[in-house]
A and B are shown apart, each in its own frame.
Chain A
Amino acid sequence: MSENLSKEKMLELLADQAVFGLSEKELQELRNLEKEYPKLKEDKSFEVAAAAINLSSVKIDKAIPQSLQAKILADADDFVGSKEIAEEEEQQNAVSTAGVVSQAVESNIRQVQFEEPKRPFWQWLTPIFAGIGCVALLLNIWLTYGNQNEVAEKPEKPVVEEPKELSPTEKREQLIASAKDVVKTSWTSPLKDENLKGEVVWSDEKQEGYMTFKGLAQNDIDKETYQLWIFDETQDEKTPIDGGVFDIKKNGEIVVPIDAKLKVKNPAAFAVTVEKPGGVVVSDREKVVALAKV
Chain B
Amino acid sequence: MFFEQSNFHQTTSWFKIKPYSVTGNLELKEEEYVAQTILQRIAAGDKSAVQECLDTYGGLIWSLARRMLPNVNEAEDAVQEIFIDVWKTAERFDESKSSETTYVAMIARRRLIDRLRKTTRQPNVDSFEDILVEPSKNEDKQIQTSIEAKQAAKVLQDLRPEQQKVLQLSIVQGYSHQEISDALEMPLGTVKTHARRGLMQVREILEERNLNRGREVSA
Contact = CB atoms under 8 A, between A and B. Distances in A.
B67 A50 contact: no
A47 B88 CA distance: 18
A95 B23 CA distance: 8
Given A53-B202, A56-B153, A58-B64, A48 B97 contact: yes
Nearest to B133: A165
A278 B63 contact: no
A225 B141 CA distance: 32
Contacts of A79: 50, 84, 87-88
A166 B134 CA distance: 10
Interface centre among B51, B146, B148, B152 (most CB of A within 10 A): B152
Interface in B54-105: 54, 58-64, 66-67, 70, 76, 79-80, 83-84, 87-88, 97-98, 101-103, 105
Contact of B26 (A15, A16, A105): A105
B199 A18 contact: yes
Interface string A224-237: 01000000001110
B161 A236 contact: yes
Interface residues of A, number: 88
Contact of A19 (B2, B136, B144, B199): B199
A198 to B, nearest CB: 15
A246 B64 CA distance: 20
B21 to A, nearest CB: 10
Given A75-B80, A221-B127, A280-B183, A47 B109 contact: yes
Contacts of A63: 59, 62, 135-138, 141
Contact of B84 (A61, A75, A101): A75
B139 interface: yes
Contacts of B58: 64, 69, 72
A206 interface: yes
Interface residues of B, number: 100
A215 interface: no
Interface stretch (A125-133, A144-152, A261-269): A261-269
B145 interface: yes
A225 B202 CA distance: 37
Nearest to A80: B47
Interface in A27-83: 44-65, 68-69, 71-73, 75-76, 79-80, 83
B171 A62 contact: no
A54 B131 contact: no
Given A80-B50, A278-B123, A55 B84 contact: no
B26 to A, nearest CB: 5
B124 A265 contact: no
Nearest to A100: B24
A15 B165 CA distance: 17
Interface of A: 11-12, 15-16, 18-21, 23, 44-65, 68-69, 71-73, 75-76, 79-80, 83-84, 87, 91, 94-95, 98, 100-102, 104-105, 108, 120, 165-168, 171, 206, 208, 221, 225, 234-236, 239, 241-242, 244-249, 256-257, 259, 261-263, 265, 277-282
A-B pairs, top 5 by smallest CB distance, nearest first, are A278-B122, A55-B149, A52-B148, A281-B183, A52-B152
